[in-house]
Amino acid sequence: MSLMSDPVVVTGLGILGIPPLPDTALIGEHAAVLAGAARHHQMLLQDAGPAIRLAGANEGPAAEAAHVYLTGGGGPQHQTTDLADRFAVAAAGLVVSQHLVEWIGTLLAGAAVAAVVAVAFAPHLLPRVTALARRFLTFLRDALSRIGRVFAALLRSPQARRIDTVAGRLHDTWRAARRLPDGGYEPRIKTTVDQAWIRRNGTDQVDIANTRYRDLPVEWQKENKESATVAVRLVADARKRGDDLTSDEFMEQASEQVHIAWLRRNGEWAPPEQRLPYRELSHVEKEKDRVVVREALDA
């Protein structure tokens, strides 16, 4: 019988108004399955080694094409490596969460026993025991939330990570013009409706200039993320086609697509000089679209 299912502990948790914690054994089982999947994909990489070495050793167009396919960014070697890493990270995240839940569970079990004793012998101590248990529970929720955000970021696909990188750089480019001598930025206060952000920060006011992209509310990440998504996909598609990504032709075509996508999102409020087709834009306005493409290429 687990500690949390002990009758005294169950009774104490009921007195404290605390629901039962999740079954940590089940969390461990999920972690084991994910760790097994990670090992399986690592074995696939080892088994593929001879084929990759053979493709690299042979000469000729067919052998070269096979080697590029196997080892390229969209090839099976890259995809298998990415899956192995993501399964391993997910398994590690569950193990950390399991240990945290078990630790807090032990503290809550102690508080539950103390609650039973308080009801029987010292009722005046019950509010203090309840407050202590609530603090334990709040700590658990906050810690699991932070762990979840960290591992959710680690589990993002390579393309999603590139999009976030580009979006962050675009945000830094925008706020660079507001840089102050002391290293900070001229404030730009905005209101957010992102409830998760509001709960974490205790306010609906955000200084977007002095906040890193990754710490912004979702609606103040949105525009940079949308532009980054378009540019990263354009670069990825062009690379698959074998286009010359260093050419002026690619830069102008991609920048035009970035501008078209921006107009779809913002055309209703955009000033007249920004509603023009890309080819009719001023050099300054074209540069705004080219910056997005350059960042996608760098990422």
Helical H runs in the chain? 7-16, 24-57, 61-71, 76-121, 126-154, 158-176, 195-201, 218-241, 248-266, 272-275, 283-298
What pLDDT is attached to residue 33?
94
What pLDDT is attached to residue 23?
79
pLDDT digits (tens, 9 = 90+) for 195-232: 999 999 999 999 999 999 999 999 999 999 999 999 99
Per the rule left: phi > 0, alpha: psi between -120 and 50, beta: everything else, 17 is left
Which pTM does this prediction carry?
0.60
pLDDT digits (tens, 9 = 90+) for 103-130: 999 999 999 999 999 999 999 999 999 9
What pLDDT is attached to residue 58?
62
| Mean pLDDT value across residues 22-32 | 87
Distance CA 158, CA 168 (A): 15
CATH architecture for segment(s) 3-154: Up-down Bundle (1.20)
pLDDT at 36 exceeding the cut of 70: yes
Delimiting residues of CATH 1.20.1260 domain(s) in the chain: 3-154
pLDDT at 144 exceeding the cut of 50: yes
Q: What is the DSSP string of 243-282?
A: --TTSHHHHHHHHHHHHHHHHHHHTTT--HHHHS-GGGS-
Chain centroid, CA 150 distance in Å: 7
Q: Which residues are 179's β-sheet partners?
A: 185
Identify the weakest region by mean pLDDT among 17-21, 36-40, 174-178: 17-21
What pLDDT is attached to residue 41?
86
Count the neighbouring beta carbons within 10 Å of the beta carbon of residue 194.
17
Q: Which residue has the tokens 């994909």?
A: 41
pLDDT band at 44 (very low <50, low <70, confident <90, very high): confident
Distance CA 184, CA 279 (A): 37
What pLDDT is attached to residue 1?
47
pLDDT at 19 exceeding the cut of 50: yes
Q: What is the DSSP string of 77-120?
A: HHHHHHHHHHHHHHHHHHHHHHHHHHHHHHHHHHHHHHHHHHHH
| Mean pLDDT value across residues 6-23 | 89
pLDDT band at 155 (very low <50, low <70, confident <90, very high): confident
Distance CA 107, CA 74 (A): 48
Exposure of 134 by Cβ count < 10 A (0-12 exposed, 13-18 middle, 19+ buried)? middle
C-alpha dihedral over 281, 282, 287, 293, to 10 degrees?
A: 20
pLDDT digits (tens, 9 = 90+) for 53-89: 665 666 666 556 655 555 555 567 777 888 888 889 8
